Amino acid sequence: MSSSAKITEPARKLDVAWVRQQFPALRQKVNGDPAVFFDAPGGTQVPQRVIDAITNYLSTCNANTGGAFVTSRRTEGMIADARGAMADFFNCATDEVIFGPNMTTLTFAVSRAIGRELKGGDELLVTCLDHDANVSPWVCLEERGVKVRTADVSPAACTLDMFDLSAKIRRNTRLVAVGWAANAVGTINDVNEVVRLAHEAGAMAFVDAVHYAPHGPIDVRALDCDFLACSSYKFFGPHLGILYGKREQLQRVRPYKLRACTELLPDRWETGTQNHECLAGLIATIDYIADAGRHHDASAGTRREAILAAYDVFRQHERELLELLISGLLAIPGLTFYGIKDPAKLDQRTPTVAIRMASRSPRDLATYLGEKGIFTWDGNYYAIDLAERLGVQQSGGMLRIGLSHYNTAEEVERLLEELRRLARK
């Protein structure tokens, strides 16, 4: 081997025992069996340090901002730290981070503000694969005479029809709203290409990263999107929404705001008093992810590097569980699988899968599994257009099994065993 040849390091394996120790909720039992949390796309569990940070804020810092006393100053410092943590998470500047109650509310704030600059004849593009939180806020703008088009999906593997999408981006398209990953069936979209197509037509790109954020690293600089929204309760944190906005867009677009609020960033976009205790929890969330990175890769220096190292091991572990899950599901008679299942394409999806079984409704399945301590989800999970497109909306939707890095192969086996038992009945 030449001295310049690169030695490929073996992929690091996730220390699942270390991970699971961090999450107190994982110790719960249901009817004597350990609880299995396959409800991650609806909301993940939180590490102990997040719970402690929330409690600590309320015990030692609880105050509003702008006061001439210590707890108020601590609160302001804590909010600045939370913004710094999210700037590392997104790879952006701190004044490009906007906090709010959840992704839906932040998306409505952006859509209302953008609506002020739209006129009749303008068009917006949404997709058939998205959660309604990235559809309705844009469709509501039709009352201003704007036309909203919908990019279709290819139902065979529930992937975005990129041909249809690019054909629907036209001269008068002002914004393209796309999900990074589909919360119903796990498809990861080619968001780089969608942003590129939007910009090529002079349109803005709004990315819903809610379902992607727990599974993959976000780099808004590399993606070059105009806005990106996510929710920390989907990535091991408290119930909060976080918006990234490109500085020039946050300065240019006019949000509805109070007179008392300054025009400075991020103030002009943040309405009312924030959820301070959850922001304290958010710092601990990002630190958990970074610590997970450092636990597996001691060479990770900055917090950003440590975050990226964490996603490397999370992804590797989730991939192994996903292969086990999909191959097990496909061997069950009478089971319909929705989404990407080709082993060569598993990096184009998250470990969130949707199924139906011939013998039982999704609600019956979820109830049966719930009694066994296995938490899954049934219905459409607000991916209404997709459920309609797949023809399952009128019959209970699908059963969604959503894995996270804190799940284990034994848990996947337990689920498969229960489904096999049901298929034999």
Ligand X SMILES: Cc1ncc(COP(=O)(O)O)c(C=O)c1O
> Across 317-357, where does the E strand assignment appear?
335-338, 352-357
Distances (CA, A) of 169 to 42, 320, 323, 406: 31, 37, 36, 39
Q: How far is the CB of 131 from ligand X (least distance, A)?
A: 3
Cα–Cα distance, 415 to 408 (Å, whole number):
11
Q: Rounded to an integer, what is the distance from CA 137 to the centroid of its chain?
A: 18
Residue 231 vs 271, nearer CB to ligand X = 231
If one asks whether residue 44 binds ligand X (CB under 6 A), the answer comes out as: no
Residue 231 vs 275, nearer CB to ligand X = 231
If one asks whether residue 366 binds ligand X (CB under 6 A), the answer comes out as: no
If one asks whether residue 215 binds ligand X (CB under 6 A), the answer comes out as: no
If one asks whether residue 128 binds ligand X (CB under 6 A), the answer comes out as: no
If one asks whether residue 102 binds ligand X (CB under 6 A), the answer comes out as: yes
If one asks whether residue 211 binds ligand X (CB under 6 A), the answer comes out as: yes
User: What is the total count of residues that contact ligand X (CB under 6 A)?
Assistant: 14
If one asks whether residue 205 binds ligand X (CB under 6 A), the answer comes out as: no
Closest of 19, 94, 133, 393 to residue 267, by C-alpha: 94
If one asks whether residue 198 binds ligand X (CB under 6 A), the answer comes out as: no
Name which of residues 285 to 324 contact ligand X (CB under 6 A): none
If one asks whether residue 241 binds ligand X (CB under 6 A), the answer comes out as: yes
Residue 133 vs 265, nearer CB to ligand X = 133
Q: Give the DSSP H/E element, type plus range, for residue 231.
A: strand 227-231
Cα–Cα distance, 259 to 246 (Å, whole number):
23
Q: Give the DSSP H/E element, type plus range, for residue 316.
A: helix 303-330
Cα–Cα distance, 278 to 274 (Å, whole number):
9
Please compute Rg for the chain using Cα positions. Answer: 22
Q: How far is the CB of 233 from ligand X (least distance, A)?
A: 7
Q: Which of 131, 174, 315, 400 binds ligand X (CB under 6 A)?
A: 131
If one asks whether residue 376 binds ligand X (CB under 6 A), the answer comes out as: no
Residues in contact with ligand X by the rule CB under 6 A = 41, 102-104, 131, 133-134, 179, 183, 208, 210-211, 231, 241
